[in-house]
Amino acid sequence: MTVMDTTRTRTDTCGAPPQPHRLPDGQDRYTISEVVAVTGLSAHTLRWYERIGLMPHVDRSHTGQRRYSNRDLDWLDLVGKLRLTGMPVADMVRYAELVREGDHTFGARFDLLESTRRDVLHRIAELRDTLAVLDRKISFYADADRTRGGATAEED
């Protein structure tokens, strides 16, 4: 990505989460290919997100090309996180709509986030459970390896 290399500046905001690839606010006008590079999403997907209403309105250059801002990147970050909680895209679109509708939807957004949070907690618990099962099986196979031909009970 030649574009990336030429536009890069040393400004690493040493703030809370060490966000790399970020230009200071005011110069944050990333092309789609830059966003592809930082998010790992495809250009197709980015345009598709916009079509389905999953993005706040993305700015355009005078020639009509997309120019993403730091806020857009933050939003994509959130979307990415929500996506790997298993939240369906439709629900994220719903949240995006609430944001577009303005401040009077704060309550609804709060509720949505709260229920997502409960969901995530639940999933973490499930995964821990699975981990326990996995550990049991793993130690079974580790034992089986040492006690070659011993009286190993049935296990899969």
Work out the burial of residue 81: count CB atoms within 10 Å of its CB; fewer than 13 is exposed, 13-18 middle, 19 or more buried.
exposed
Of the candidate residues 81, 88, 91, 101, the single one contacting a second copy (CB under 8 A) = 81
Segment 72 to 101, residues that bind DNA, using CB under 7 A = 83, 88-90
d(CA 6, CA 129): 48
Of the candidate residues 1, 43, 52, 134, the single one contacting a second copy (CB under 8 A) = 134
d(CA 6, CA 9): 9
* Binder of residue 29, out of DNA, a second copy, none (CB less than 5 to 8 A by kind): none
Task: Give the nearest distance from C-beta 52 to DNA in angstroms.
Answer: 8
Query: Between the CA of residue 101 and those of 33, 68, 91, 92, what are the distances in Å?
Result: 29, 21, 15, 14
Return the range that interacts with a second copy (CB under 8 A); candidates 31-39, 42-50, 58-66, 125-133.
125-133
Residues near DNA (CB under 7 A) = 2-3, 31-34, 41-45, 47-48, 51, 60, 62-66, 83, 88-90
Residues near a second copy (CB under 8 A) = 56, 71, 74-75, 78, 81-82, 84-85, 99, 106-107, 109-110, 113-114, 116-117, 120-121, 123-124, 126-131, 133-135, 137-138, 141-142, 144-145, 154, 156
